[in-house]
Structure 1
């Protein structure tokens, strides 16, 4: 169902963008990078976060980690990750396939400035084996995202298996 909502999103707003479905899982940053032949940093992971009484989506490069101080300064409260069932209910997407496209519930989307290091990034597309190739600026425009600076600089040679 969520893959369908993402396909419908792109059919309506950006028909030139293809949803790529692979046989391999792309549920983690490492799996997504391998499945799509890109470095892990280019994977645009979407994090669902409860910040006070609000739920927001933060899209960041695959090798970035949230900076708690920056998060609190930006959103005014400490961020917590909801459980997988809550994430699926709010977004309509399973953990590992969460993306800012075709959401079940309208949620504010925030793109971390870490994405601007790339001309093209690869966010999930509503399933644990689906993604799109998109310019960060276009992704932000299509999702009415706000640009934020809430991540730490990636550590040299750091590998992460966070969920995409």
Structure 2
């Protein structure tokens, strides 16, 4: 059902044919990166948090980052508390492993983390544990009805990830 709601969502932009479904799981950043053939940082992961109004908010971020609790509190004015898997399903309509900001069950506030701006394209899930779509950051912003770009993650500023493959200790 969740994959179907995302397909319905992407129909308005004629992007359903661009959705990818895999024979293997893409339920984690690492599995998605392996299934697609990209570095984990290019997986756009969607994180679900309980807001101060008991309504969920979604943060979409690069796959190689973690939430910075201090930045989160400064940006949103409340402590970062992730939803339980049952709450995620109830709020988004998507089960853990396929959570994305598209085809949501409820109208939720979506924020995009600046960690994704390092890449021309990223790969968010499409509502199931074996799906993805390649989108630019502008497309993710448009298709997710994002409210704004935020800076609430850490771990990506220190070193730029590289897509090059190391062969015989040469890059």
TM-score between both structures, scaled by the size of structure 2: 0.88
Unaligned stretches of 5+ residues in structure 2 = 162-171
SS in 2 for 1:80: coil
Which residue does the alignment assign to 1:68?
69
1:133 to partner: Cα distance = 0.4
Which residue does the alignment assign to 1:129?
130
Aligned length: 158
SS in 2 for 1:125: coil
1:17 to partner: Cα distance = 5.7
1:147 to partner: Cα distance = 0.5
> Over residues 91-116 of structure 1, what are the superposed CA-to-partner deviations in whole Å (9 max), with x where a residue is unaligned?
01010100000000010100000100
CA distance in 1: counterparts of 2:14 and 2:152, whole angstroms: 28
Of 74-83 and 15-24, the range deviating more from structure 2: 15-24
CA distance in 1: counterparts of 2:16 and 2:114, whole angstroms: 25
* Superposition misfits of 4+ residues, deviation over 6 angstroms: none
Correspondence list, 1:10-89, <5 A: 10-15=10-15, 18-53=18-53, 54-89=55-90
CA distance in 1: counterparts of 2:109 and 2:44, whole angstroms: 16
Which residue does the alignment assign to 2:169?
none
| Counterpart contact for 1:26–1:128, Cα < 8 Å | yes
TM-score between both structures, scaled by the size of structure 1: 0.91
Of the two structures, which has the highest relative contact order with CA contacts closer than 8 Å and spacing of 6 or more?
Answer: 1
| Counterpart contact for 2:43–2:62, Cα < 8 Å | yes
1:13 to partner: Cα distance = 3.0
1:137 to partner: Cα distance = 1.3
**Larger of the two Rg values belongs to structure:** 2
| Counterpart contact for 1:25–1:31, Cα < 8 Å | yes
| Counterpart contact for 1:17–1:132, Cα < 8 Å | no
